[in-house]
Structure 1
Amino acid sequence: MVVLHDTEPKSTTVEKVVEPIIDVGNLLIVDRDSIEGDVTENLLSRARNNTQLLFNSIWQLEQKRVEDAILVDLPAPTYRLPREKKIPEKKEPTKWEKYAAEKGIKKRTKAKKVFDEQSKEWKPTYGYRRGNDDTKDWVIEIPDNADPNKDYFEERVEKKKERVAKNETARLKNLARQLKTTIKKGPSTDASIGVGVNPREKTKQQVRFAVDRAKVSTASVGKFQEGLKGEKVNVKSGKKRKFESNEGPASNEKQRSLEVLQKLKNKKAKIVEEKASIAAGGDDGEKREKKKSGKPARQKSEVHRQKWFKNKVADKKKRNHGTVKKGGKAKR
């Protein structure tokens, strides 16, 4: 980095061979002069001159004083500089903002903390553990002309739920009103069940599916949901599994056991053709066995396996008693 120490101040008037392009809105200057001579000194002097030209253009704008500072309003930029994302569009004002603008209502900022008289502490004005919270009172004063049998605690809870639901509905309406200018309407991403489809474009099956989903979304899974006038019962609602009671007469249990036994007797054995052909010594089985081991397949039926197993068990018993079986005969 090279720093030039000049004793005499330079003039604010700058002469250029080729007039530069100045965009005051972006604080941008484009110098189109060619570079000659020493590059380092030429670049430093050129940077100083171009900065002076830019400031000269700024001071030619309309000025205003705010306290001890002099400010100017920059004009709209001439060049469109590249950016990663597009400039966010201005949001449409909400219904309350429109009403406040018409009536001249200005927003007043309230303090974030309020002094709670009961706890003698500073607490948040709104939200969790807020100060002067009347919903925590254990007693409610009832007027003389009010119904004494009414549950005013439950009424207070319901009113709060209604306020929350009303605010949420208003928030969603404002959001939908703002997104109308940015979201493009197109085909539904889940048109098969009717989600995101215009109600006028839904088919009969999609409307019925939406009604069924809304009915079973209650706490009782639609058990106490009243039907509409002339509404048909949905035949595709499905069947629930039914379980018999654990307690009952012994005759019913005996009958069920007999039915299970009868089903086991009537059940036919599943025959696998490949295994059956191998056991019977078929050509296919022999070929497969030859391919695997290179030797002819050994033909052995189920009866032979059972005899072999019985002989093995008998041989083990006789060995325990001091006898050995050889060639089907016993020796002592």
Structure 2
Amino acid sequence: MADKSIAVEKNIDPIIDLGNLLFIDREPILGDASEGLEERARKNTQLLFNNIWQLEQKRVEEAIIVKLPTATYRLPREKRLPEKKEPTKWEKYAAEKGIKKRKKDKKVFDEATKEWKPTYGYRRGNDNTKDWLIEIPDNAEDPNKDFFAERREKKKERVAKNEMQRMKNLARQMKTTVKTGPSTEKMIGVGVDAKDKTKQQVRFAVDRAKLATASAGKFQDGLKGEKANIKTGKKRKFEANEAPVSGEKERALQILQRMKSKKAKIVEEKAAAIAGPPKEQKEKKEKKGAKGQTRQKSQIHRQQWFKNKVDSKKKNHGAKKGGKK
């Protein structure tokens, strides 16, 4: 197949916005719309690339790139513009004092292991809580206390303080205040006064507190007159991780069979409802009904015959006893 020409001619000049990589073909479609669309799309794409490669080119390593111009069309956004966040307490203080944020390295060299490790987070470098030996300072008030536990407690306090500051910043943005602790609302980290909470919100907070135990509230005692918790939502059920292949194959075949037969079943039911039962089925049903009535009558006669026979035996037996006497 021969390569097609890159030269493209248009009867009506198109609208090309290279900043958005937008190409608007203004030529009208004549005749059947489905004919010639593939060739038309190829030509439009080729013309767009021709205009792109007319821009100033630059080589970066092994790739050739071009700098797109400023867009002329304002395309609509999918979502609205995010609102500007209110600066935190530290950001306000830094702006007042002229403190500029210094970017720290993500990796730090750990002297103990002689490796480069993350500065913060999991397995961070120079973590003093992981030291196996701590030198007791000369001015220590109690040299016999547990310095390892003291470091761990100080770390927990720092984490709790940062979390409280984060919640206060969120509360400041939401125009609320943090009262006694984390909120039980859907807005995580925003406190709500207990007097302002509704009955459902208080109930939700109590249920969350009970389920926070190790037994998930199984052995948690209830208050006097407290109603039982009504669980909402469906409990998810999962199949076993280890299962025989035959069972999985059978389930897959059942699902496939239901998918294949679902549409056909609906069509047959609709057709049967519209057309009604066929003539042969009607005749069979009528014959079956007639046979059923005949069988029912014969069964009644048979029962009557047995009853008469039993009654006659009883009479004969009574007559014989009377003759013997």
User: TM-score over 0.5 for the alignment?
Assistant: no
TM-score range with shorter-chain normalisation? 0.3 to 0.5
From the CA coordinates, give the structure whose radius of gyration is larger.
1
| Higher helix residue share | 2
